Amino acid sequence: MTYLAAKNIAKPNKKRGYKCCWCGIYDAEYDLPFSDNFVGYPYLKEERKGLCKYCYAFVSEQKFRKRSWIATEGKVDFVKQKEAYSYLFNPDDNAWFVHITSSGQKQSWLNAIHSVNFSKQRFAVSFEKYDSPIFFTRSHLLAMSEVAKKLREQKITKTEMKCGEFKPKTYEKAIDGDFENLLSEAKEYACTPQWEVVVYGTE
Ligand SMILES: [Zn+2]
């Protein structure tokens, strides 16, 4: 897990062969076969295609696309989306990485995998909809999740929450229920990838 934190671009080395574009060891192979339903090619840019056999096994496993998962030192747990999201609130003390799927169609985690986390306070999350890691601070996550939870308790739809565009009826409801401040807060967060992750992960 930790060795993936350092990003190494593959460059041929006459003495030591090719460097694996993922982990940096000099044992990479080119033109490795991928199955017909492998959709990660756009994420393996031309100059970065060289992979060692360990990383190849990792990259070519379709389960990493189809499922949400939590990687910690020495193991990977495939979990439900909600569990992956919940993990962000109480992650490991050591290295960790989380990928949250939405449709299971994109291998976007390939672009985020080098953002391995070593902190509970500031961290990156891989979310399928985005091709780059999404950076959070713990305090920001907690603040946003509080607002999202309360809005869901008031039965506000996720569609409205995500874009921060609330219907007149929702405003009326907020005035009656005295939670207009939550709508204003949601508007501040709206249209950010962090907020999208939070809205997606909230019940
Ligand atoms: Zn490798």
pLDDT 10s digits, 117-136: 999 999 999 999 998 999 99
Q: Could you tell me the distance, in angstroms and rounded to a whole number, from the CA of residue 11 to the centre of ligand 1?
A: 13
pLDDT 10s digits, 152-173: 999 999 999 999 999 999 999 9
pLDDT 10s digits, 168-182: 999 999 999 999 999
Q: Which of 8-12, 39-43, 54-58, 102-106 has the lowest mean pLDDT?
A: 8-12
**Please, which residues bridge with residue 51 across strands?**
29
Task: Return d(Cα 122, Cα 29) in angstroms, integer.
Answer: 35
Q: Could you tell me the distance, in angstroms and rounded to a whole number, from the CA of residue 56 to the centre of ligand 1?
A: 7
- How do the domains of the chain map onto residue ranges? 2-132, 138-201
Spatial neighbors of 87 by CB under 8 A, at least 6 apart, are: 70, 79, 96, 98
Q: Could you tell me the distance, in angstroms and rounded to a whole number, from the CA of residue 55 to the centre of ligand 1?
A: 4
Write down the pTM of the prediction.
0.85
Nearest Cα residue to 171 out of 162, 163, 160: 160
Q: Could you tell me the distance, in angstroms and rounded to a whole number, from the CA of residue 69 to the centre of ligand 1?
A: 20
Q: Residue 172's pLDDT is what? A: 95
Q: Could you tell me the distance, in angstroms and rounded to a whole number, from the CA of residue 51 to the centre of ligand 1?
A: 5
Q: Which residue has the higher pLDDT, 91 or 23?
A: 91
The residues whose Cβ lies within 5 A of ligand 1, an ion, are 20, 22-23, 52, 55
